[in-house]
């Protein structure tokens, strides 16, 4: 018999540093959410857990501002939420209008193609919101289109598109809509019913400030009817809504085993949604806006220029151009090593050109804004760039001083 393989010496419990998370996600978790995550596990068919699942659905309806019965959390990150929407709604041969103004619109295109659909791509410049006029033109040119898919809050740039206008165009053309709200849910208005959206997905780790690995989703009755009318089986067993719902929404409350749900992660999601309810959606949106305005005031002093124009800018995802002559990676490395502060790099064509600063969920706090401005000013000054730390902090302070919050 061969000797068993043995890991090399020196591997022990992993020392995890305490970071301040101000990148594009995940965000800082509130101590209440961390405590909920640490509860002793119970069975995923335990009556107490089943009761909590029902509360999660109610709380998610509040977060999405919807009465959709089919609202729950997919076991997997936002990308699995995205795939759940596309794999259930897109059939081979379907034509889907897909809007791309950043990385995540590109992933929507991949989903359409992988499930046998044809993606009609509406392109907009990275950093710009989706142009409704281009979508209207695409719908006129493709009257056989079945769906319109777009990213409400593009994480790669910090641009926010007009979801109400885009969904309205889809409805008027007889199309379903698929909307990515991974970075917007809980941070800026997501109004599923007011928009008339059909399928929306999000993520637990951004403005909800929960552990990564869950994807809240909601489906309209129109979307449910399309799933029921499919000519072919959903090509994913794990994400087939008909199977998943036997666990999440079985008639009479009797759940059928589908998969072992991430019990502790759902404890944490429940607590984060309770906290959102306690704060109130409008108050949460206002909090994200306040800290964005304070951060922006400091960035203006430091000479940092935003990628996205003001009227289309996400408060919770702030993308700014890197000053000329500044080493992108060196700045991020110093912020992490000296200040325990994580910020995000640029993606795709913006790689090496922009930094992305997240103000999401529990990360959207004054102490984080002050830390970020002070640390960034110190690092830039150390690289020979003019960066007035005192004035930047004072500019942020003046925003807070005039706030009614």
Residues 332, 374 share a domain: yes
Query: Residue 404: pLDDT above 80?
Result: no
**Token digits of residue 151:** 């990213």
pLDDT higher than 90, residue 193: yes
Q: Is 90 exceeded by the pLDDT of residue 2?
A: no
Confirm whether 18 is domain-assigned: no
CB under 8 Å to 260, separation ≥6 — which residues?
Answer: 44
Are residues 205 and 53 in contact, defined by beta-carbon separation less than 8 angstroms? no
* Residue finishing a domain among 277, 305, 325: 277
Q: Do residues 239 and 330 both lie within one domain?
A: no
Mean pLDDT of the chain: 95
Cα 112 from Cα 145, distance rounded (Å): 12
Domain stop point among 244, 277, 310: 277
Residues 83, 163, single domain; the answer is yes
Between the two ends of the chain, the Cα-to-Cα distance in Å is 69
Tell me: the pLDDT tens digits for 361-378?
A: 999 999 999 999 999 999
Q: Which has the higher per-residue pLDDT, 45 or 61?
A: 61
149 and 41 in a common domain: yes
CATH number of 321's domain: 3.90.1150.10
Tally of domains within the chain: 2
Domain match, 290 and 228 both: no
Question: Could you tell me which of 152, 62, 49 has the C-alpha nearest to residue 105?
Answer: 152
Q: What is the pLDDT of residue 353?
A: 98
User: Looking at the predicted structure, is the pLDDT value of residue 392 above 70?
Assistant: yes
Locate the DSSP E strands across 88-213: 95-100, 118-123, 147-151, 153-154, 159-160, 176-180, 199-201
Confidence (pLDDT) at 405 = 65
Across 162-172, average pLDDT:
98
pLDDT at 44: 86
Same domain assignment for residues 262 and 284: no
Q: Residues near 151 by Cβ (< 8 Å), separated by ≥ 6?
A: 99, 101, 102, 104, 105, 108, 130, 161, 179, 180
| Whether residue 255 is found in the same domain as residue 284 | no
Task: pLDDT band for 275, please (50, 70, 90 cuts).
Answer: very high
Same domain, 388 and 301: yes
Closest CA to 129 of 166, 177, 175, 95: 166
More confident residue, 248 or 58: 58
**The pLDDT of residue 306 is above 80:** yes
Q: Evaluate whether residue 289 is within a structural domain.
A: yes
Q: In which band, very low, low, confident or very high, does the pLDDT at 177 lie, cut at 50, 70 and 90?
A: very high
Give domain status of residue 3, yes or no: no
**How many degrees, rounded to 5, is the angle at CA 323 between CA 321 and CA 324?**
120
Name the band, by pLDDT with cuts 50, 70 and 90, for residue 253.
low
pLDDT at position 248, please?
81
Q: Are residues 285 and 267 in the same domain?
A: no
Domain that holds residue 90: 32-277
Please choose, from the candidates 234, 295, 275, the residue with its C-alpha nearest in 3D space to the C-alpha of residue 86. Answer: 234
pLDDT at residue 256 in the model: 79
pLDDT score of 27: 97
Residue 185 and residue 333 share a domain: no
Spatial neighbors of 182 by CB under 8 A, at least 6 apart, are 78, 81, 82, 104, 153, 155, 201, 202, 203, 206
Question: What pLDDT, on a 0 to 100 scale, did the predictor assign at position 45?
Answer: 86
Answer with the one of 251, 277, 303 that is the final residue of a domain.
277
CATH code: domain of residue 69 = 3.40.640.10
Nearest partner of 199 among 182, 217, 185, judged by Cα:
217
Retrieve residue 210's tokens: 């929960």
Is 25 domain-assigned?
no
Is pLDDT at 19 greater than 80 in this prediction? yes
Name which of 48-57, 137-146, 147-156 the model is least confident about: 48-57
Residue 250 has pLDDT above 70, yes or no: no
Domain assignment present for 186:
yes
Percent of the chain exceeding pLDDT 90 equals 89
The pLDDT of residue 260 is 85
Q: 121 and 60, same structural domain?
A: yes
pLDDT at 303 over 90: yes
Query: Which of 47-56, 120-129, 162-171, 262-271 has the weakest average pLDDT?
Result: 47-56
Question: Average of pLDDT values for 176-188?
Answer: 98
């Amino acid at each position: 018999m061969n000797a068993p393989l043995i890991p090399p010496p020196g591997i022990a419990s992993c020392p995890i540093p305490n970071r301040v998370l101000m990148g594009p996600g995940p965000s800082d978790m509130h101590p209440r959410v961390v405590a909920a995550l640490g509860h002793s596990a119970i069975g995923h068919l335990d009556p107490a857990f089943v009761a909590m699942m029902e509360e999660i659905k109610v709380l998610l309806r509040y977060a999405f501002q919807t009465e959709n019965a089919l609202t729950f959390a997919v076991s997997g990150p936002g990308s699995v939420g995205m795939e759940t929407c596309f794999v259930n709604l897109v059939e081979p041969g379907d034509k889907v209008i897909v809007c791309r103004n950043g990385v995540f619109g590109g992933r929507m295109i991949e989903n359409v193609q992988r499930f046998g659909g044809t993606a009609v791509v509406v392109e907009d410049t990275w950093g710009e919101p989706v142009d409704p006029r281009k979508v209207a033109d695409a719908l006129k040119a493709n009257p056989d289109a079945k769906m319109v898919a777009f990213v409400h809050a593009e994480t790669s740039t910090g641009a926010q598109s007009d979801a109400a206008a885009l969904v309205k165009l889809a409805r008027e053309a007889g199309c379903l809509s698929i909307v990515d709200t991974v970075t917007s849910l809980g941070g800026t208005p997501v109004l599923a019913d007011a928009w008339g959206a059909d399928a929306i997905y999000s993520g637990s780790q951004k403005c909800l400030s929960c552990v990564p690995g869950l994807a809240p989703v909601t489906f309209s009755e129109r979307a449910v009817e399309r799933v029921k009318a499919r000519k072919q089986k959903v090509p994913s067993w794990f994400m087939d809504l008909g199977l998943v719902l036997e666990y999440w929404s079985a008639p009479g409350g009797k759940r059928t085993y589908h998969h072992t749900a991430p019990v502790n992660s759902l404890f944490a999601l429940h607590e984060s949604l309770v906290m959102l309810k306690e704060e109130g959606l409008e108050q949460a949106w206002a909090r994200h806006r306040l800290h964005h305005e304070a951060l922006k005031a400091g960035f203006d002093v430091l000479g940092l220029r935003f990628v996205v124009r003001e009227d289309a800018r996400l408060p919770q995802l702030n993308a700014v151009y890197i000053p000329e002559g500044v080493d992108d990676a060196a700045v991020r490395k110093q912020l992490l090593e000296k200040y325990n502060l994580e910020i995000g790099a640029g993606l795709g064509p913006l790689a090496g050109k922009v930094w992305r600063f997240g103000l999401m969920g529990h990360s959207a706090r004054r102490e984080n804004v002050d830390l970020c401005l002070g640390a960034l000013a110190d690092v830039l000054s150390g690289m020979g760039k003019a960066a007035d730390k005192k004035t930047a902090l004072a500019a942020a302070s003046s925003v807070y001083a005039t706030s009614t919050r």
